[in-house]
C-alpha cells in the first residue's frame, strides 16, 4: 500500500519480503555485543521493529527506544511490538534527534547509508554512550555490485537522466571497515570492525528487482509517476536478469557485502 506521505517512501510490506535474509546481519551484529544487562537501549532507524523485538527478548529488563523517520515503518513496528510496554517508538530524523539520557547500547542497522556525511552522526552517537556503553552498526557495502551499478547506469542514461539525476546514492555512501574503525576510534571507543559477503539464494520472478524494490530502487520509484516507474523497472529487470541469471534449479545467487562495527566506551580507572 503506498504511503500517504509522499516524502515517506518506505513501505514495510515491501521491505519485509526478504525478512529472513535481511535479519541475519543484525543477528551477526548483535552476537558481537557482549553487554550483559543494558538498561537503556536505542535503535536508530528501527524500521519495522524486528531488531527491537530481538533485543527485548535478549534483555527483557531493558528500556528500548526505537527511532525512525517513516510513519509506515513505525506503524509496522507498533504492530510487531504491541504488547511490549518497555519499548518507546519515536518518529524523528536521525540527523537531529538526541536521547535525553545516556545509553548503554546504541544500535543502528542498515540506516547510515541513507545519511550523507554520516561520520558526524556516528561521532554524535558515540557521545550518547554511558561508561561501558556499546555501539553497534551495520551498513550494506554493495554499492559497486552489478545490482547498484546497473541501477545508476540506467538512471544516468539519456532517457532517464533529466528525471533521475542526483536521486541515487553513489559508491561512496558508506565507509569500509577501516573507515568505521577510524571514525569510532577517534570518538574514543574501542572498535571491532569487519566485512562479510552473504550469498543470498533468491527464487521466483525478478528476485533481485523485488529485493531492491524495498531499498535501493525506492528513490527512483518515488521520483517517477506510475507509468514511468513501471517502464524503468522493466528495463532494470531485464539488465538484472542478465547480470544475475537463474540456474537450472531456478535459483539466483545474489552476493551481498555488508560492513559491521561494534565499539565500546571502555571505562578507564
Residues that bind ligand SAM (CB under 6 A): 10, 22, 26, 45-47, 50-51, 68-70, 73, 93-95, 109-111, 114-115, 215
Q: How far is the CB of 49 from ligand SAM (least distance, A)?
A: 8
Cβ atoms < 10 Å from Cβ of 228 = 16
Residue 184, C-alpha cell as written in the block: 569510532
Nearer to ligand SAM, 57 or 268 (CB): 57
Nearest distance in Å: CB 167, ligand SAM: 14
Residue among 18 and 182 whose Cβ is closer to ligand SAM = 18
Give the number of other Cβ atoms within 10 Å of residue 59's Cβ: 20
Burial tier of 222 (Cβ tally within 10 Å: 0-12, 13-18, 19+) = middle
Nearest to 17 by CA among 204, 250, 226: 204
Shortest reach from residue 258's CB to ligand SAM, in Å: 11
Q: Rank residues 18 and 194 by Cβ distance to ligand SAM and give the closer one.
A: 18
Q: How far is the CB of 211 from ligand SAM (least distance, A)?
A: 12
**Contact yes or no for 105/54 (Cβ under 8 A):** no
Smallest gap from Cβ 257 to ligand SAM, in A, equals 15
Please identify, using beta-carbon distances, which residue of 160 and 258 lies nearer to ligand SAM: 258
Cβ contact 187:126 at 8 Å = yes
Whose Cβ is closer to ligand SAM: residue 69's or residue 150's?
Answer: 69
Report yes or no: 135 and 263 within 8 Å, Cβ to Cβ. Answer: yes
Which residue's CB is nearer to ligand SAM, number 10 or number 160? 10
Place of cell 559497486: 144
Question: In the bound complex, which residue of the shown chain has the CB atom lying closest to ligand SAM?
Answer: 47
**Across the strands, what pairs with 198?**
256
The DSSP letter of residue 112 is: G
CB of 263 to ligand SAM, least distance (A): 18
Residue 105 grid coordinates: 547500547
Amino acid at each position: 500500500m503506498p504511503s500517504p506521505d509522499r516524502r515517506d517512501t518506505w513501505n514495510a510490506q515491501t521491505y519485509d519480503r526478504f525478512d529472513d535474509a535481511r535479519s541475519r546481519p543484525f543477528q551477526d551484529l548483535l552476537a558481537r555485543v557482549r553487554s550483559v544487562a543494558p538498561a537503556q537501549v536505542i535503535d536508530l532507524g528501527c524500521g519495522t521493529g524486528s531488531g527491537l523485538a530481538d533485543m527485548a527478548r535478549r534483555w527483557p529488563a531493558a528500556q528500548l527506544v526505537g527511532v525512525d523517520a517513516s510513519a509506515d515503518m513505525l506503524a509496522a513496528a507498533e504492530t510487531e511490538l504491541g504488547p511490549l510496554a518497555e519499548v518507546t517508538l519515536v518518529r524523528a530524523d536521525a540527523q537531529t534527534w538526541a536521547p535525553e539520557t545516556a545509553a548503554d547500547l546504541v544500535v543502528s542497522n542498515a540506516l547510515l547509508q541513507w545519511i550523507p556525511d554520516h561520520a558526524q552522526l556516528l561521532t554524535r552517537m558515540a557521545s550518547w554512550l554511558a561508561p561501558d556503553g556499546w555501539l553497534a552498526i551495520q551498513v550494506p557495502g554493495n554499492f559497486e555490485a552489478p545490482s547498484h551499478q546497473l541501477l545508476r547506469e540506467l538512471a544516468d542514461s539519456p532517457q532517464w537522466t533529466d528525471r533521475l539525476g542526483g536521486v541515487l546514492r553513489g559508491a561512496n555512501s558508506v565507509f569500509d571497515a577501516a573507515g568505521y574503525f577510524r571514525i569510532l576510534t577517534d570518538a574514543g571507543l574501542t572498535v571491532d570492525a569487519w566485512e562479510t559477503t552473504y550469498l543470498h539464494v533468491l527464487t521466483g520472478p525478478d528476485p533481485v528487482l523485488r529485493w531492491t524494490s524495498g531499498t535501493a530502487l525506492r528513490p527512483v520509484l518515488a521520483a517517477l509517476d506510475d507509468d514511468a516507474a513501471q517502464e524503468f523497472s522493466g528495463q532494470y529487470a531485464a539488465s538484472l536478469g542478465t547480470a544475475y541469471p537463474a540456474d537450472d534449479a531456478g535459483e539466483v545467487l545474489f552476493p551481498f557485502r555488508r560492513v559491521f562495527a561494534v565499539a565500546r566506551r571502555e571505562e578507564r580507572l
